[in-house]
Structure 1
Amino acid sequence: MSIESLKLYHFPASRSARVKWMLHEVVGSRFAIEIVDVYAGALFSPRFLRMNPNHSVSVPILEIFWSDGSAQQMLESTAIVAFLADAYGEAHLAPPVQASRGRADYLQMLQFGGTTMDMLLWQIRIHEHMLAIQERDPRTVTRYRSKFATEIEPQLCQRLESAPYICGEAFTAADCIMGHNVLWARRYGLCRASVFRRYLARLAKRPACKAAFDDIDAFILEVAPEQPLLTTFNG
């Protein structure tokens, strides 16, 4: 069974940008895309809850249409990026699926970006710009900003000072996750060291990266009080 076509449900500069980037890397522009108005509460409509019942405020949703006529939805950005890297192995964006130091390090950094880093950035984001004012907790912001600056950034700096990409000399799918995270962190005043600017400049030379963020100007950081999202968002 093979992949016939792909469709991405996307919101500019959000986690779905990671998947958009990866799609451009492996299939060019040969995928469908639908912009989802997250702030208007679109993800809580019956249509989207059938695809993602987790009451999540976040995209992506990747719809995979298989050659047997069936369709499948994937929801987690890191899983989707990993799947695409392996499904389109000819793009050479992941070490071969075998026991190797390179594969172990690649998976470690892919998941580190998609879990540990993501959780810290998400907590900062929701408590600074998404939750209703009375629900925001400045202590959470202080805690996770400190943890990110003192624990996460030094690890990344060490890697990016010794190699051009997060897993070494070659660009991999892990850089789609990490590059997005660094952009995200910089929106919050983190990852300001010159090593991160050089890393982003290197990534920005890739046509797929440019295409992934060609709509970044449509991203609005603050969720306005009148937006329907604030009445349905439960974290």
Structure 2
Amino acid sequence: MSTSTIKLYHFSVSSPSRGALLAARVIGVPVEIVIIDLMKKEQLNESFIKINPQHCIPTLDDNGFVIWESRAIACYLADKYGKDAIYPKDLQRRAVVNQRLYFDSSFLYPRIRAICYPIIFEGVTEIKDKLKDELNNSLDFLNQFLDGNKWVAGDHVTVADTAIIASLTSILEVGWDISNFSNIQRWLKDCASLPGYEENLEGAKSFGSIVKKNLKQ
């Protein structure tokens, strides 16, 4: 099946956008990357709003089928182009993957965002203890998910891993301490061998540098 016209509207500083691209890399589906620079507000260009009226990144255009939201993109690509293990057809195994995806979208990523976005956009220079505790609480849950599991949803890498990798590497590049989470440390070492991991890391470093330059030293 031809995949030559799959476009991913992408900005590497955005961890959700990197999550979608990392999923595509792990699945092995080629995508044409179209950069939408959020810092320059290119997402508000009329041409992009015609494609996605919600004007958010990432956005996927697969031969005229347009979908946005990074985890929805990852699941779509996995269902259409991936092998079964990346997004299992078995309902119970898939339910675990979905739970981990919703954990990322409802807990992990929002808590990272709550820390970083006020620093980037609102002049905040310090991280409140409450926000630190909330994120570490989510990391404790992630550490528990990995207890006895090679990957976050079991024995095989899935789209849950690609989403969480993108979120987690962003805050790690800000300098977050995960020394108390041994399972996460082990998992990250395994993640380093995945296709697209270094590409994701480059974007995470760019994100981290933006946050760190605004933090009080």
TM-score range, shorter chain: 0.7 to 0.9
Among all aligned residue pairs of Structure 1 and Structure 2, give the percentage whose two residues are the same amino acid.
23
Of 59, 62, 75, which residue of structure 2 is paired with 1:61?
Answer: 59
Out of 147, 172, 186, the position equivalent to 2:134 is: 147
Given candidates 83, 92, 100, the residue that maps to 1:90 is: 83
Contact 1:185 1:191 in 2 (8 A): no
Name the counterpart of 2:71: 78
Structure 1 residue 167 displacement after superposition: 0.9
2:19 alignment counterpart: 18
Which residue matches 1:99?
A: 91
Task: Tell me if the contact between 2:4 and 2:31 (Cα under 8 Å) persists in the aligned partners.
Answer: no
How many Å apart are 1:124 and its aligned residue?
Answer: 1.2
Question: 1: distance between equivalents of 2:25 and 2:73?
Answer: 13
Alignment partner of 1:7: what SS? strand
Aligned pair in 2 of structure 1 residues 224, 213: CA closer, same or farther (>3 Å)?
Answer: closer
SS at structure 2 position matched to 1:162:
coil
Structure 2 counterpart of 1:19, one-letter code: A
> Residue type matched to 2:210 in 1?
L
CA distance in 2, matches of 1:158, 1:105: 14
Q: Which residue in 2 is equivalent to 1:32?
A: 32
Following superposition, the deviation at residue 157 of structure 1 comes to: 1.2
* Higher Cα Rg, which structure: 1
Distance 1:108 1:60, change over 3 A: same
Q: Which residue of 1 aligns with 2:184?
A: 196
TM normalised by structure 2 equals: 0.82
Say if 2:161 is the partner of 1:163: no
- Find the residue that maps to 1:155 and give its secondary structure: helix
TM-score, with length taken from structure 1: 0.77
Q: Does 1:130 align with 2:116?
A: no
Structure 2, unpaired ranges of 5+? none
RMSD: 2.9
Distance in 2 between residues matched to 1:44 and 1:206, nearest whole Å: 33
The verdict on how the C-alpha distance between 1:32 and 1:3 changes in structure 2, with shifts beyond 3 A counting, is closer
Q: Which runs of 5+ in 1 are unaligned?
A: 66-70, 226-235
SS of the counterpart of 2:37? coil
Deviations 1:55-106 (A, max 9, x none): 54xx2111110xxxxx12211001111111111243630111x432x22211
Match of 1:121 among 88, 104, 112: 112
Q: Aligned with 1:54: secondary structure?
A: coil
Aligned CA distance change for structure 1 residues 92 and 99 (closer, same or farther; 3 Å): closer
Task: Tell me the amino acid that sits aligned with residue 39 of structure 1.
Answer: M
Distance 1:74 1:191 in 2: 35
Secondary structure (helix, strand or coil) at the match of 1:39 reads helix
Tell me the number of residue pairs that the alignment of Structure 1 and Structure 2 aligns: 210
Judged with a 3 Å threshold, the aligned counterparts in structure 2 of structure 1 residues 215 and 186 are, in CA distance, closer, same or farther, namely: closer
Pairing 1:172–2:178 present: no
